[in-house]
Structure 1
Amino acid sequence: MGILSWIILGLIAGAIAKAIMPGRDPGGIIITILLGIVGAVVGGFVGQALFGSDIGSFFDLSTWLLAILGSLIVLGIYRAVTGRRSHA
């Protein structure tokens, strides 16, 4: 997949992850896009490490599931880290 495909996949996976994990996030749409892209990459590494699965075609179901899983992981970590900061 090319870089544009990763960006589009990450954007959509990030939006789906945010819909699955509703709530307030400190950050806007740009943060969601970046977290989605990072999550897509993380999902690819997790899938490859655990299942021997590889990020394949843009239209492959396992690619989407791994990208959404990775986005959920990254979003959860992001919320845990930013939620602990005190706003004084």
Structure 2
Amino acid sequence: MLGMGFLGWIIIGGLAGWIASKIKGTDAQQGIVLNVVVGIVGGLIGGFVLSFFVDVAGGGLIFSFLTCLFGAVILLSIVKAVRR
């Protein structure tokens, strides 16, 4: 994901954050900016967690997207649990 650049991170993070918010049912509470932030932070979380199991450095575009999605779902689950 480092080879994509800043704009690539925003696009992948935004898509992953939006889909994760649809999965967790929080899309009505979040705007586009928060979806992008959740996707980017989710990518960091997902990359950290998956680095224990697989080599995440050379995964490619689809693997990077799935990593961001995985991390964003984890992040939204944690936030939802803390809010209760």
The alignment's TM-score, normalised by the length of structure 2, stands at 0.76
How far apart, CA to CA, are the structure 1 residues paired with 2:58 and 2:18?
19
Percent sequence identity over aligned pairs: 38
| Deviation larger for 6-15 or 43-52 | 43-52
Can you list the C-alpha shifts for 1:8-64, whole angstroms capped at 9, x where unaligned?
Answer: 11100001111111147654332222111100121122222222222643xx32212
Give the counterpart of 2:40 among 33, 37, 42. 37
Structure 1: state its 5+ residue gaps: none
Higher helix share: 2
Equivalent residue pairs, number: 81
Structure 2: state its 5+ residue gaps: none
What is the RMSD of the two structures over their aligned residues, measured on CA atoms?
2.1
